[in-house]
């Protein structure tokens, strides 16, 4: 989950690398560095903290040169420090940036130390630099040296390498971590994410697992696959406009992305609905056959995407009659899951590169699933390329580390899945109503966003709190989980979510005047039960914040603050009720002065285990 950017051109590359790093900062931001080859030697700057700290060093002493590599780090091995920041060098010979984890680095380090190599960092990456130096000393070219050493690396990596022994050349390699080639005119680039390179190109080659690539001056690109054969990979044009990657008039990316939800929900539905049903072909030509044989579903995801999966369980069981299991990928991949006949494997991921989710997919492919479906936001991502059937969520680039529009568009994808499977199995009940509610959803989301000023006022009650409890019932329990996750991620307030009916089995003991309790109360068949749970909170002196349907009779009192939401078909309430919780977390974080878009210790795309 670090970010890599590399370039070889016939112009100075420092600016390209620096802009690339700024765009990759969402992947990690505890330190950054850059090495440029100036025609004679490798020159390097590294700095602890955000890319801005590196930028200041470059202002003082520029690094001119036509080939270079750069990195923004999210620490795994060794604390954030200048010595641990990338690029790592082996003497004057070679410079490396790395994303991923080399699991066998200790063994390799012992061997290298025994051969006399001196280590100047605590990182796993540094072994790669000395391994390369050893091979270069034996007379191999930089390309051959990299090809030989990657075979001995266990774990996951994306690498970019330069050396004065190969002027005008950048080598890249990927295994388990994302890396794309940016195709320029007489120049070529590498990055962990195409977003990094949009100022210089919109044409990309998505490397496959085990690929090794050589970029040279004049933009020549040579790719060799894991068997050592020269291969051609297709060049794809990037779909999202670059405007999506800027903050526009918003103070934070997160706020912009929250406000984009009506528009991206509309995009996620476009061309996928008829008058009264979902077009199953939205999932591609093979979907019909796979859905026909689907008797149950296993959904695997991480973080916010996992919460989307939990909502979908309620939908798929209720509206499609399909039993569903939902599990976090890091648990699933190390279990011995029983896969009943006719089970479809579904992954959810914003990035399509989350290491645990990807590993779970690869594991699932060895089991007897009838097929694999990825619901994902990034076309060309590993998850998309490796799944049988895919649905793009069309949220556009999401930069804020705390996921917002990616979540709601995943829910759209999951509702489309629910109705598609139901339809393929001959179901039609509720379809027309839900389809017309989906069409009305963007406008209702807009109405909810108009409540923002009132939510901002509400947020003042949280800024001084240390804990918060979120309650929901049915499909709104995962909405509560997502609300709690948002609050803890960006405001660092300890927040927990419970199914409201479970309150009396433990968390009620925590309720007092210092514990705000947030609840979502749509007008569904669990409303009366939820109201009783809320009384349990009031009776203990708790302060309640209720997001309620305009038609439910929950009145505002001293100890209950109520925010009324427009009425919507009950199938879609999890979507609508997510928005005020996102806004609440946002405003609490702004009041607390935390880093909203890049909260401490977190990264947007977790490409390490
Ligand atoms: C990280 C991000 C979360 C995200 C999770 C899963 O933890 O900070 O926002 O939900 O990864 O990522 P994915 O890309 O697979 O949805």
Assign 501 a pLDDT band (cuts: 50, 70, 90): confident
pLDDT at 1: 65
Single out the residue in 416, 442, 468 at which a domain terminates. 442
Q: What CA–CA distance (Å, rounded) separates 47 from 14? A: 15
Does ligand 1 have an atom closer than 6 angstroms to the CB of 357? yes
Give the domain CATH number at 177.
3.60.20.10
> Does 515 or 328 have the greater pLDDT score?
328
pLDDT at 490: 94
Q: Is residue 603 part of a domain?
A: no
Assess contact for 240 and 246: CB atoms under 8 A: no
Which range, of 151-155, 160-164, 314-318, 571-575, averages the lowest pLDDT? 151-155
Q: What CA–CA distance (Å, rounded) separates 281 from 389? A: 11
Single out the residue in 238, 264, 287 at which a domain terminates. 238
Mean pLDDT highest for which of 155-164, 272-281, 366-375? 366-375
Does ligand 1 have an atom closer than 6 angstroms to the CB of 197? no
Give the domain CATH number at 372.
3.40.50.10490
Q: Is residue 231 part of a domain?
A: yes
Q: Is residue 602 part of a domain?
A: no
pLDDT single digits (tens) 193-213 = 998 999 999 999 999 989 999
Assess contact for 323 and 368: CB atoms under 8 A: no
Q: Please state, as a whole number, how many other Cβ atoms lie within 10 Å of the Cβ of residue 319.
A: 19
Question: How many domains is the chain built from?
Answer: 3
Q: What is the CA radius of gyration of the chain?
A: 25
| Burial category of 493 from C-beta neighbours within 10 Å (exposed 0-12, middle 13-18, buried 19 and up) | buried
Q: What is the arithmetic mean of pLDDT over 497-512?
A: 87
Same domain, 336 and 428: yes
Q: What percent of the chain has pLDDT over 90?
A: 75
Does position 526 have pLDDT exceeding 80, yes or no?
no
Task: Report the residue among 606, 607, 608, 609 best suited for mutation to probe ligand 1: largest number of ligand atoms under 8 A from its CB.
Answer: 606
Does ligand 1 have an atom closer than 6 angstroms to the CB of 604? yes
Same domain, 429 and 459: no
Q: Is residue 516 part of a domain?
A: yes
Q: What CA–CA distance (Å, rounded) separates 108 from 121? A: 15
Assign 543 a pLDDT band (cuts: 50, 70, 90): confident
pLDDT at 242: 55
The Å distance, Cα 90 to ligand 1 centre, comes to 34
Q: Is residue 607 part of a domain?
A: no
* Residue whose C-alpha is closest to residue 57's, from 43, 76, 39, 75: 43
Same domain, 434 and 458: no
Same domain, 221 and 256: no
Same domain, 59 and 139: yes
pLDDT at 290: 97
Does position 609 have pLDDT exceeding 90, yes or no?
no
pLDDT single digits (tens) 262-303 = 999 999 998 888 888 998 989 988 899 999 999 999 999 999
Does ligand 1 have an atom closer than 6 angstroms to the CB of 582? no
Q: What CA–CA distance (Å, rounded) separates 152 from 108? A: 9
The Å distance, Cα 606 to ligand 1 centre, comes to 7
Same domain, 496 and 386: no
Assign 27 a pLDDT band (cuts: 50, 70, 90): confident
| Burial category of 250 from C-beta neighbours within 10 Å (exposed 0-12, middle 13-18, buried 19 and up) | middle
Assign 533 a pLDDT band (cuts: 50, 70, 90): confident
Q: What CA–CA distance (Å, rounded) separates 417 from 508? A: 37
Q: Is residue 314 part of a domain?
A: yes
Note if the bond before 209 is cis, omega within 30 degrees: no
Does ligand 1 have an atom closer than 6 angstroms to the CB of 156? no
Q: Is residue 267 part of a domain?
A: yes
Q: Which two tokens stand for residue 481?
A: 């989980």
Does ligand 1 have an atom closer than 6 angstroms to the CB of 304? yes
Does position 241 have pLDDT exceeding 60, yes or no?
no
The Å distance, Cα 303 to ligand 1 centre, comes to 5
Single out the residue in 424, 442, 460 at which a domain terminates. 442
The Å distance, Cα 427 to ligand 1 centre, comes to 33
Task: Report the residue among 258, 299, 302, 308 best suited for mutation to probe ligand 1: largest number of ligand atoms under 8 A from its CB.
Answer: 302
Q: Which two tokens stand for residue 257?
A: 């992305």
Same domain, 212 and 129: yes
Q: Domain range spanning residue 132?
A: 3-238
Which range, of 214-223, 401-410, 599-608, averages the lowest pLDDT? 599-608
Catalytically active residues are 2, 604
Length of the chain: 609
Q: Is residue 528 part of a domain?
A: yes
Same domain, 418 and 504: no
pLDDT at 500: 87
Does position 243 have pLDDT exceeding 70, yes or no?
no
Question: Atom 2, ligand 1: which residue's CA is nearest?
Answer: 604
The Å distance, Cα 486 to ligand 1 centre, comes to 12
Q: What is the arithmetic mean of pLDDT over 518-533?
A: 80
Does ligand 1 have an atom closer than 6 angstroms to the CB of 269? no
Same domain, 188 and 259: no
| Burial category of 365 from C-beta neighbours within 10 Å (exposed 0-12, middle 13-18, buried 19 and up) | middle
Q: What CA–CA distance (Å, rounded) separates 601 from 609? A: 15
Is residue 426 classed as helix, strand or coil in its secondary structure?
coil
């Amino acid at each position: 989950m670090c970010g890599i950017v590399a370039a070889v051109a016939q112009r100075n590359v420092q600016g390209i690398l620096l802009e690339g790093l700024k765009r990759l900062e969402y992947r990690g931001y505890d330190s950054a560095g850059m090495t440029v080859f100036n025609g004679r030697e490798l020159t390097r700057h590294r700095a602890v903290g955000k890319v801005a700290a590196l930028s200041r060093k470059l202002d003082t002493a520029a690094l001119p040169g036509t080939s270079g590599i750069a990195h923004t780090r999210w620490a795994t091995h060794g604390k954030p420090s200048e010595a641990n920041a990338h690029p790592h060098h082996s003497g004057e010979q070679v410079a490396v940036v790395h994303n991923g984890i080399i699991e066998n680095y200790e063994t390799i380090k012992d061997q290298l130390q025994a051969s006399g190599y001196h280590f100047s960092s605590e990182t796993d990456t540094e072994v790669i630099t000395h391994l390369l130096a050893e091979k270069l000393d034996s007379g191999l070219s930089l390309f051959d040296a990299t090809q030989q050493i990657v075979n001995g690396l266990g774990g996951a990596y994306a690498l970019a390498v330069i050396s004065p022994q190969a002027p005008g050349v950048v080598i890249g390699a990927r295994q388990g971590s994302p890396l794309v080639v940016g195709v320029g005119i007489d120049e070529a680039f590498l990055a962990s994410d195409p977003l990094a390179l949009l100022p210089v190109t919109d044409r990309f080659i998505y490397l496959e697992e085990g690929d090794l690539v050589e970029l040279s001056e004049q933009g020549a690109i040579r790719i060799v696959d894991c068997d050592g054969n020269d291969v051609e990979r297709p060049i794809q044009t990037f779909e999202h406009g670059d405007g999506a990657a800027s903050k526009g008039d918003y103070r934070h990316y997160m706020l912009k992305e929250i406000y984009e939800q009506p528009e991206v929900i509309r995009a996620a539905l476009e061309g996928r609905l008829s008058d009264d049903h979902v077009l199953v072909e939205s999932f591609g030509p093979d979907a019909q056959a796979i859905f026909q044989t689907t008797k149950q579903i296993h959904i695997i995801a991480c973080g916010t995407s996992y919460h989307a999966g939990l909502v979908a369980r309620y939908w798929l069981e209720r509206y499609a009659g399909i039993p569903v299991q939902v599990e976090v990928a890091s648990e699933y991949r190390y279990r011995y899951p029983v896969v009943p006949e006719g089970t479809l494997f579904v992954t959810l991921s914003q990035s399509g590169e989350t290491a645990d989710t990807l590993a779970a997919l690869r594991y699932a492919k060895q089991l007897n699933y009838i097929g694999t479906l990825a619901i994902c936001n990034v076309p060309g991502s590993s998850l998309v390329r490796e799944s049988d059937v895919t649905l793009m969520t069309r949220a556009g680039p999401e930069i804020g580390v705390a996921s917002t529009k990616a979540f709601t568009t995943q829910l759209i994808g999951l509702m489309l899945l629910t109705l598609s499977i139901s339809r393929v199995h001959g179901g039609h009940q509720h379809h027309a109503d839900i389809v017309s509610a989906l069409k009305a959803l963007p406008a209702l989301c807009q109405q909810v966003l108009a409540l923002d000023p009132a939510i901002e006022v509400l947020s003042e009650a949280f800024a001084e709190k240390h804990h918060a409890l979120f309650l929901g019932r049915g499909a709104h329990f995962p909405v509560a989980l997502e609300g709690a996750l948002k609050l803890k991620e960006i405001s660092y307030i300890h927040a927990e979510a419970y199914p409201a009916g479970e309150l009396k089995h433990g968390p009620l003991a925590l309720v007092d005047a210092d514990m705000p309790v947030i609840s979502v109360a749509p007008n569904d068949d669990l409303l009366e039960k939820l109201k009783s749970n809320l009384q349990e909170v009031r009776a203990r002196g708790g302060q309640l914040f209720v997001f309620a349907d305009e038609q439910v009779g929950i009145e505002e009192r001293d100890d209950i603050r109520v925010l009324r939401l427009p009425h919507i078909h009950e199938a879609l309430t999890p979507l609508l009720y997510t928005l005020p919780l996102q806004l609440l977390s946002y405003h609490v974080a702004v009041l607390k002065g935390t880093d909203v878009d890049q909260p401490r210790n977190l990264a947007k795309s977790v490409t390490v285990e």
